Amino acid sequence: MKGRIAVISAAASGIGLAIAEALCGNGWRVYAGDQDTAAVEALRGRENFAAMVCDVSDAASVAQFYAWIASDLMARGAAGIDLLVNNAGISGPTARLEDQPIEAWNATINVNLNGTFLMTRSAIPLLRRRAPGSAIICMSSNAGLFGCPLRGPYVASKWALIGLTKTLAMELGPEGIRVNAICPGSVEGPRIDRVIAADAAERGLTTEEVEREYKRQSSLRTFAAKEDVAAMVQYLMSPAGARISGQALAIDGHTESLSLDMEA
């Protein structure tokens, strides 16, 4: 693992930071992009980290981010990168489709789907330089495997990411570049807490009731942890994952449905 290089979007907190820390702990160098200026500043100076503010939904920001990466790679005598993790995403609004604000729909698609397109398009030439063996991981969701009431724009974007993953795997596989999607269920932390609060408000329930309902959607009756996702990334980049491509890998405690009681 040592000496390998990763680019990770939204890597200054949450799942992205957990992935970055796990890789850095194995000797990787990580280029972290994040929209949160304060969180990016907090990463500066950490061993094996290089961080820059980047809005994945803005083509100019992404271009600036990759120009910075290319300059640093050249200064270090590195040929390219081994891994792109498209982790940036937003949860979007919680409402029935007819009540979804157009601006919120567009923002969700722009970050979750268009941001992945922009980040991946710029990364492919750098990934080719380290192929075979380089890889792309797209952070989808188990919402990309099921329908989910009140989360239309989020679900649409996460389903689209799986289709994009499978298409990229077909396009890049002959060059030895693998592409997979990770599909976490609800992941412990502030983000799912905000989703639960919005769901509770929309449906007139308590947050405790909604959290219990979410946990009952999976056989294990529990949320995932960000460390679970980081461990899957490490597995996919290990020799054990060398033949895995074009897959949507769920980390969701065996979820069979994301249905909710819409008649309550």
- pLDDT of 263: 61
220 Cα distance to chain centroid: 23
Q: Cβ distance 164 to 138 under 8 Å? A: yes
- pLDDT of 192: 84
Q: List 156's β-bridge partners, or say none.
A: none
Q: Give the start-to-end residue ranges of the domains of the chain.
A: 5-186+224-251, 188-222
Q: Cβ distance 139 to 15 under 8 Å? A: yes
Phi, psi angles (nearest 5°) of residue 137: -125, 125
**Which residues of the chain, if any, have pLDDT below 70?**
1-2, 261-264
Q: Is 48 helix (H, G, I), strand (E, B) or coil?
A: coil
Supply angle C-alpha 45, 57, 252, rounded to 5.
80
- pLDDT of 262: 63
**What number of CA atoms fall less than 13 Å from residue 218's CA on the CB side?**
19
Active site annotation includes 154: yes
CA-based nearest residue to 42, from 71, 68, 11: 11
- Token output for 206: 């308590």
- pLDDT of 184: 93
Under CATH, to which class is 5-186+224-251 assigned? alpha beta
* Pairwise CA distance, residues 127 & 23, whole Å: 17
pTM to 2 decimals? 0.90
- Token output for 27: 């000797």
Kindly give, in sequence order, each residue whose CB lies less than 8 Å from that of residue 239, ignoring residues fewer than 6 positions away.
Answer: none
Long-range contacts of 32-37 (CB under 8 A, 24+ apart): 32/8, 33/7, 33/8, 33/9, 33/65, 33/88, 33/119, 34/9, 34/10, 35/10, 35/88, 36/12
> What type of residue is 109?
I
Peptide bond into 132 cis (omega under 30): yes
- pLDDT of 203: 80
Catalytic one among 66, 154, 214, 235? 154
For residue range 123-133, list pLDDT tens digits in order: 999 999 999 99
